[in-house]
């Protein structure tokens, strides 16, 4: 089954404690991306990757890091989380915009 998986699905953490949200896709897609979704603000792109070892900033990259060492994985790293990073995070992958699939989402609460 073609899918994008994210882990964990839910996470409660404290300010400053480093965390990683994993994202994996099994569709051999070149493109992967991370978004955050907040009420009233819609989906905002954090980082994206056009291919392995190629990443670029989206609209809200501050406080986040990513890496793309292999095609299937695109982890999102929060080195020092803060409460304003409390949000719903989506990973997506696609062979083109017409085939962009979203993962199930990770709900993060930073205390």
Which region, judged by CB under 8 A, interacts with other proteins, from 12-20, 48-56, 66-74, 79-87?
Answer: 48-56
The answer for 71, left when phi > 0, alpha when psi is -120 to 50, beta otherwise, is alpha
Which region, judged by CB under 8 A, interacts with other proteins, from 12-20, 63-71, 72-80, 91-99?
Answer: 91-99
Q: Does residue 100 belong to the site contacting other proteins (CB under 8 A)?
A: yes
Q: What angle do CA 6, 58, 20 make, to 5 degrees?
A: 30
Q: Does residue 44 belong to the site contacting other proteins (CB under 8 A)?
A: yes
Sign of the Cα pseudo-torsion (1, 38, 109, 33, in order): positive
The pair of three-digit structure tokens given for residue 97, joined into one six-digit string: 């915009």
Asked if 4 contacts 100 with a C-beta cutoff of 8 angstroms, the reply is no
Q: Does residue 95 belong to the site contacting other proteins (CB under 8 A)?
A: no
Q: Please, which residue, 16 or 104, has the CB nearer to other proteins? A: 104
Say how far residue 100 (Cα) sits from the centre of its chain: 14
Closest distance of CB 31 from other proteins, Å: 8
Closest distance of CB 80 from other proteins, Å: 25
Q: Give the footprint of other proteins on this chain (CB under 8 A).
A: 33, 35, 40-45, 48, 50, 56, 58-59, 90, 97-105
């Amino acid at each position: 089954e073609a899918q994008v998986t994210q882990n964990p699905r839910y996470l409660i953490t404290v300010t400053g404690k480093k965390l990683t949200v994993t994202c994996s896709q099994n569709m051999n897609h070149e493109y992967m991306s991370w978004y955050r979704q907040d009420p009233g603000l819609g989906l905002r792109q954090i980082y994206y990757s056009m291919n392995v070892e190629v990443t670029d900033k989206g609209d809200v990259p501050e406080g986040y890091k990513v890496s793309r060492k292999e095609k299937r994985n695109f982890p999102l790293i929060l080195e020092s989380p803060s409460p304003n990073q409390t949000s719903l995070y989506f990973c997506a992958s696609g062979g083109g915009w017409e085939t962009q699939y979203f993962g199930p989402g990770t709900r993060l609460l930073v205390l």
